[in-house]
Every structure is written in C-alpha cells, then in structure tokens.
Amino acid sequence: MRRSEVGLTLVEVLLTVMLIGILSASVVTLMPNILHMTRRSVADQETTVAAKAYFESLRGLWASPTAYQSGTLPDAPAGCEQAVASGDLGGYRRVMLTCGDGAGPFTLELGDPSL
C-alpha cells in the first residue's frame, strides 16, 4: 500500500523563505531613496506654490501703469533670491525669480497696463 503524502518538503520551505528574504532586503535598501525623492518633491511643490503666489502679488502690484513704470518688486519668498526685472521689452517686462533649492528659475512676462 502506498501512502499519499501532502505538504511541502523542507527544501521547498527553505527556498521560499530565502526568496522572501532577498526580496525584502532589496525593498528595504530602496526605502531611503524613495523617502528622499518624496521630500524633494514636496519641497519643489512648496517652492512652486510660493513662486506662483509671488507672481500673483506682482500682477496685482503692477496693475496700474504708474506702478508698472516704477518697476518696484515685492520681496522674494523665503529661499529665493530677489527677483530681477528686465527693462521695457516693447510693451512688456520679464521678471525672473531664482530659488536656491533647485526649483525654477521661474519667469513671468507682464504687459504694460497702459497699452
């Protein structure tokens, strides 16, 4: 009479445990890089939002022809250098904002409101 055996051999169990260990180790070694990329992405998003808010305040400030002609710029957001405005470029000015954390540079072109 033959006995029917059901189950896994010791070799199969050991190979499975070893394979799970190797896969787990590779995922664990990637975690620091994944976390760094996530933090970097969040920092870039915060910088972009700050630059957009800066440019919107500049649009409001330069809505009048007098303010546009004076060329006064608001203070740059934290972590960014003071913005640089070009002279009149034929009816518009270009404003460039550079941030030190790698995001940007951000550029805005504003038309002369008196035109």
Distance CA 102, CA 63 (A): 30
- 85-98 per-position pLDDT tens digit: 887 788 889 999 98
- 28-85 per-position pLDDT tens digit: 998 999 899 998 888 888 888 999 999 999 999 999 888 888 888 888 888 888 888 8
Listed residue (107, 110, 115) closest to 61, CA to CA: 110
Helix (H, G, I), strand (E, B) or coil at 80: strand
Contact of 92 with 71, CB cutoff 8 Å: no
* pLDDT over 90 (residue 20): yes
Kindly state the DSSP code that residue 79 receives in the 8-state scheme: T
Q: How confident is the model at residue 1 (pLDDT cuts 50, 70, 90)?
A: low
Q: Measured on CA atoms in the order 75, 77, 79, 84, is the torsion positive or negative?
A: negative
- Residue ranges per structural domain of the chain: 10-111
Give pLDDT, residue 2. 64
* Position 86, amino acid: S
pTM of the model: 0.70
